[in-house]
Amino acid sequence: MGKLTQRNAKIRFYDGTGTPWYLELDFDGDYSGPIGTPKTEEILVLNRGVMDSLAHYIEGPEDKLMEPLEVSLKVILRDDQQTVNLLNWLAAMNDALATQVNVHTLVSTKSDTQRDGANNNPAFADANKGCFDICYLMETGGTDLGFRLYEIYVALNEVVLGESGDEISLPIKGKVYGTITRITAFPAGTDVEA
């Protein structure tokens, strides 16, 4: 039995096309993301301020349920088309999907999931913003494990290029607006770089 390391994990970005386009990235293991979505707050109601048999909880407002969550990762930039495709992918999610990735037009995943279980998540007021999904998969000796984070928005002003003596990297911070599910394999899709 061994421990899992960054060598065992892969990241893919997915768009909202029927058979989605995906971009598999080289990253250095600096992934940080939630494994579940928020719940509504439980508010204690006492009987005239006294804890007795009539005390109970009520469910708080659902704005808590819809709050975005943080996700971050650091992509190692390569001296090839993948870097251009990554930059174009992020640009497309900030310019109303006008930027193409390897001659392919992406489709936003915004409003594709239902955090409350009944209603599609609302669209952004700013039509220039688009979302994509991130799939993080750890390869194990048995069943692979991972998570799909839906409806990720990455603001370009929060992406800061990083340079060190042995690599140039792109730390990416985004907000998760959709649901989060466990996966045991990457979803079907078409490689945007093919």
The larger pLDDT score, comparing residue 167 to residue 147, is at 147
Q: Whole domain around residue 176: which residue ranges?
A: 6-39+66-191
Domain of 150, CATH number, reads 2.30.110
Q: Is residue 61 part of a domain?
A: no
Q: Is residue 46 part of a domain?
A: no
The pLDDT of residue 8: 75
Dist CA 30 CA 192 (whole Å):
24
Confidence of residue 5 (pLDDT cuts 50, 70, 90): low
Q: Which tens digit of pLDDT belongs to each residue from 117-152?
A: 999 999 999 999 999 999 999 988 788 999 999 999
Q: Is residue 47 part of a domain?
A: no
Dist CA 82 CA 101 (whole Å):
10
Mean pLDDT of 14-40: 93
How many structural domains are present in the chain?
A: 1
Conformation bin of residue 117: beta by default, left when phi > 0, alpha when psi is -120 to 50: left
Q: Which tens digit of pLDDT belongs to each residue from 81-104?
A: 999 999 999 999 999 999 999 999
| pTM, rounded to two decimals | 0.91
